[in-house]
Structure 1
Amino acid sequence: MPRFLKVAAAATAAMLALAACGSSDDSSSSSTGSGSGSSGVSDADVQAALQKGGNLTVWAWEPTLKQVVAKFQEKYPNVKVNLVNAGTGNDQYTALQNAVAAGKGVPDVAQIEYYALPQFALGKALTDLGPYGASSLKADFTPGPWNSVQNGGKVFGLPMDSGPMALYYNKDVFDKYGIKVPTTWQEYLDAARKLHKANPKAYITNDTGDAGFVTSMIWQAGGKPYQVDGTNVTINFTDPGATQFTQVWQQLISEKLLAPISSWSDQWFQGMTNGSIATLTTGAWMPANFVSSAPSGSGKWRVADLPQWQAGGTASAENGGSSLAIMDKGGNKALAYGFMKYADDGDGVQVRVDNGAFPATTAQLNSPAFQNTEFKYFGGQKANQIFAKSAQNVVTGWSYLPFQVYANSVFNDTVGKAYVSSTSLADGLKAWQDQSAKYGNEQGFTVK
């Protein structure tokens, strides 16, 4: 995860201080759709806005939205969508928070990852979608993404995609060394030992420390390190789920069973094709990256269910994924909602799926056409069946911090030390907990 820029942290601090110290009463919100006090906006109102048209500015980096915008404008020719790539992830959040702080240049719609959404929602930068009837769309989305767009009982975005986790493994490597596909994380640890002993240049996986991966693994283990009740926050990385993850992963680190290679580097993709990296544990959005960046691995790799912390379990978690949200300081919000609904819960969803995106919508995930898609890269395997099952088995009750963007920015300075020094993973998590709590208290939250 790229380090969050200081200027963004400053803007975020200002937003959070206002949110934490201000009134929780949203009744003063404008009549354009922000806050619980807004008048309802009917489907007829939204359709009227689409027919009338106007200009929309959308900040997003997700590549398939280009095709969505083209199809949307064909259907609604009076609407002009200006799709802007203001940067990926934290780079966009920097620009977005600066625009919010300045009160100008704010887009109408923005792509915001699930882990970052609470921070923007609590900073009152997003429009509450309740007046638009968004709550009625719950059944249209899988549980993980739907829970992730809610904050304080309100809906602040519509899920655009999802990242239900799975185990990607190099079948050629597993066959060569007689390794069975692990069904538990203990079996995964045993496989790591067997592989590295047979070939000291081969590793079960790479890992140099990643906040999103660590939190996803704790999520799957049933951990709930973040508890949020308004401005009251609890951070605890010693709960049973976190402890289970820490105990297994510490052994992988201590026994030097993880390749010291950064994800998304050229060396990482080379490792996938030359057999030195045997597995990846990540979201269902990964296949397109295999095809584009590790093409010579085609036919060697397969997909399997996520290994379990308890034998016989089916638990999964999300890793990655984004929403589209309407900015509170944006313009025509009825028009913005119409575009967002088209892209995330309308005809635009299939457009995105056809161009390689992984959906958050149950209609696509449950369709025979989607589930029976054969992946040439995975030897003709119908991998979507595994991904769809994973999406339905995401453990419920997970929460991110209302300042998760900041927390993730200091991960490498805390937990990251466990991968490169004598610092234990447990001590690294404690340092992350303490630094996150210190920041939260400075912003007006009550953190314990």
Structure 2
Amino acid sequence: MSRSLPRSAKRAIALGLGVVLAGSLAACSSGSGGGSSPDTASADELAAALKEKSTITVWAWAPAVEPIAEAFEAKYPDITVDVQNVGTGADQYTKLQNAIKAGKGAPDVAQVEYFAIPQFSLSDSLADLSGFGYDDLEDDFTASTWNSVTDGDAVYALPQDSGPMAMFYRQDVFDKYGIAVPTTWDEYVAAAETMHSADPNQFITSDTGDAGFTTSMIWQAGGQPYKVDGETVSIDLQDEGAKKWTSTWNTLVENGSLAQTPGWTDEWFRGLSDGSIATLLTGAWMPGNLEAQAAEGSGQWRVAPMPQYTEGDTATAENGGSSIAVMEQSSNKLVAAEFTKFATAEEEGKQISFDAGGFPSTTSDLNDPAFLAEAPEYFGGQKINEVLSQAAADVVPDWQYLPFQVYANSIYSDSASSAYSNGTSLDPVLEAWGKASADYGTQQGFDVTTK
């Protein structure tokens, strides 16, 4: 998820189209083949492939991918990279799934968000990059992003960017109401009530019910609602972490402290610009979006760690981010794999991504003194990357997504919209969402249990 491209962030709320798995697990798996390229290669074989004339096709929506492709072609003049934007997020996943089912038509390389990786990896649709030695790259990436692209010894993609969560806040609003910047969720709720009571048009944040935000908040609370072991899936959206989050968020929903303003709309950006929306709890890719779309807030925004359930804790979660994967159908896996590595793990490709606003998933860049010293005027000269880099290290480990998370996210609003608009508890929302997700998973051939 790029910090500099609002439309890329929109995809978390644009998943209403969903993605239907290809009939059943068996049908999906059997239709994913078709490539004749080897799944293993030595470093010498990979280097040799780059000296032979060939073409790879890349499906991606992130704006950085095109200049990365141009740089790759300049470095390897025998290679042509055909970058195609076939749609953002769910639109691309639908086309990928159709190609998998047909057994042909998939690209060599695809951009895939972290939450969608299990859907494609479980169906054997993504090439295992460990056969190219890329398992040795583990220490190059943050633990949370590496966990999102791997399963055991298999490496199904390489992380391109990340979205560790932090609290973006308006210093001027907190100063206006004499409120200290909250470090705990109890303080956050109290701050919300203080400012909204003083001015009914002042809100601590906005939320109309977003699946990606909800799962990230449960993650930050220590929840593990999804447990996946192959085709065996357990869903518990009433676990301790989920309950911990709703115990806080229900108060804000029920007392009207949340702006009912859909994200990524003009109205939303106006609220961020004029300060009527005082905080954003979101991924580290957000600064570029604020600078571009909420320019009037320049100098007033700051960044702080996420509020905690227990004073002194440092837990956070990921929200957004994408990987680059090689499709199993590819007939040019060696070149596709090297492009994937160039885009995510090599200096030239990474820098292009950073210049376009992507937040690093690579530990060396997160700890680079120059990166940590950046002090944007928009954020009042604060060294915001010190906070955001630490957030990357504080992500709660061992989170899992459903192998049908794309579909699950697409139906969240079916349960959530009325609760947000009517100011009622979110606990029944999560319960209904879990049941609907489980029903769908069972229909697709998974062994699903709910608690």
Compute the TM-score of the two structures, normalised by the length of structure 1.
0.94
Q: Which moved more, 1:264-273 or 1:64-73?
A: 64-73
**Helix, strand or coil at the partner of 2:402:** coil
Provide the rounded CA distance (Å) in 2 between the counterparts of 1:67 and 1:60: 12
**2:254–2:423 CA contact under 8 A, matched in 1:** no
Which residue does the alignment assign to 2:169? 169
Q: How does 1:317-336 map to 2 (within 5 A)?
A: 317-336=317-336
Structure 2 unaligned residues grouped into runs of 5+ = 1-12
Q: Cα distance, 1:437 vs. partner?
A: 0.6
Q: Cα distance, 1:13 vs. partner?
A: 3.8
Structure 1 unaligned residues grouped into runs of 5+ = 35-39
* 1:14 paired residue among 14, 20, 23: 23
**Helix, strand or coil at the partner of 1:296:** helix
**2:73–2:80 CA contact under 8 A, matched in 1:** yes
Q: How does 1:324-363 map to 2 (within 5 A)?
A: 324-347=324-347, 348-363=349-364
Q: How does 1:2-401 map to 2 (within 5 A)?
A: 2-5=14-17, 8-9=19-20, 12-14=21-23, 16-18=25-27, 32-34=37-39, 40-151=40-151, 153-347=153-347, 348-401=349-402
Provide the rounded CA distance (Å) in 2 between the counterparts of 1:276 and 1:423: 23
How well do the aligned residues superpose, as a CA RMSD in angstroms?
Answer: 1.8
Q: Cα distance, 1:351 vs. partner?
A: 2.1
**Helix, strand or coil at the partner of 2:115:** coil
Which residue does the alignment assign to 1:37? none
Compute the TM-score of the two structures, normalised by the length of structure 2.
0.93
Q: Cα distance, 1:15 vs. partner?
A: 5.7
Q: Which moved more, 1:103-112 or 1:404-413?
A: 103-112
Q: Which moved more, 1:50-59 or 1:299-308?
A: 50-59
Which residue does the alignment assign to 2:4? none
**1:118–1:401 CA contact under 8 A, matched in 2:** yes
Which residue does the alignment assign to 2:441? 440
Provide the rounded CA distance (Å) in 2 between the counterparts of 1:154 and 1:15: 23
**1:15–1:101 CA contact under 8 A, matched in 2:** no
* 1:391-438 Cα shifts (integer Å, max 9, x gaps): 011110100001100100110012333212365211010000101111
Q: Cα distance, 1:14 vs. partner?
A: 2.3
**1:15–1:123 CA contact under 8 A, matched in 2:** no
Which residue does the alignment assign to 2:9? none
**Helix, strand or coil at the partner of 2:359:** coil
Which residue does the alignment assign to 1:421? 422
Provide the rounded CA distance (Å) in 1 between the counterparts of 2:353 and 2:72: 12
Q: Cα distance, 1:270 vs. partner?
A: 0.2
Q: How does 1:399-410 map to 2 (within 5 A)?
A: 399-410=400-411
**For residues 73 and 29 of structure 1, do their structure 2 counterparts lie closer, same or farther at Cα, with a shift above 3 Å needed?**
closer
Provide the rounded CA distance (Å) in 2 between the counterparts of 1:99 and 1:52: 27
Provide the rounded CA distance (Å) in 1 between the counterparts of 2:286 and 2:15: 22
Q: What residue identity is the alignment partner of 2:386?
A: Q
Q: Cα distance, 1:272 vs. partner?
A: 0.6
Provide the rounded CA distance (Å) in 2 between the counterparts of 1:274 and 1:188: 20
**1:191–1:204 CA contact under 8 A, matched in 2:** yes
Provide the rounded CA distance (Å) in 1 between the counterparts of 2:186 and 2:43: 51
Q: Cα distance, 1:153 vs. partner?
A: 4.2
Provide the rounded CA distance (Å) in 1 between the counterparts of 2:184 and 2:210: 21
Q: What residue identity is the alignment partner of 1:276?
A: S
* 1:106-154 Cα shifts (integer Å, max 9, x gaps): 1100000000010011122111112111211110000111000013542
**2:22–2:101 CA contact under 8 A, matched in 1:** no
User: Deviation above 6 Å: which 4+ runs of structure 1?
Assistant: 28-31
Q: Cα distance, 1:67 vs. partner?
A: 2.0
* 1:205-251 Cα shifts (integer Å, max 9, x gaps): 00000000110011111100000111111100121111100110011
Q: Cα distance, 1:186 vs. partner?
A: 1.1
**2:169–2:302 CA contact under 8 A, matched in 1:** yes
**1:33–1:131 CA contact under 8 A, matched in 2:** no
**For residues 193 and 339 of structure 1, do their structure 2 counterparts lie closer, same or farther at Cα, with a shift above 3 Å needed?**
same
Q: What residue identity is the alignment partner of 2:215?
A: T
**2:275–2:297 CA contact under 8 A, matched in 1:** no
**Helix, strand or coil at the partner of 2:51:** helix
Provide the rounded CA distance (Å) in 2 between the counterparts of 1:398 and 1:104: 32
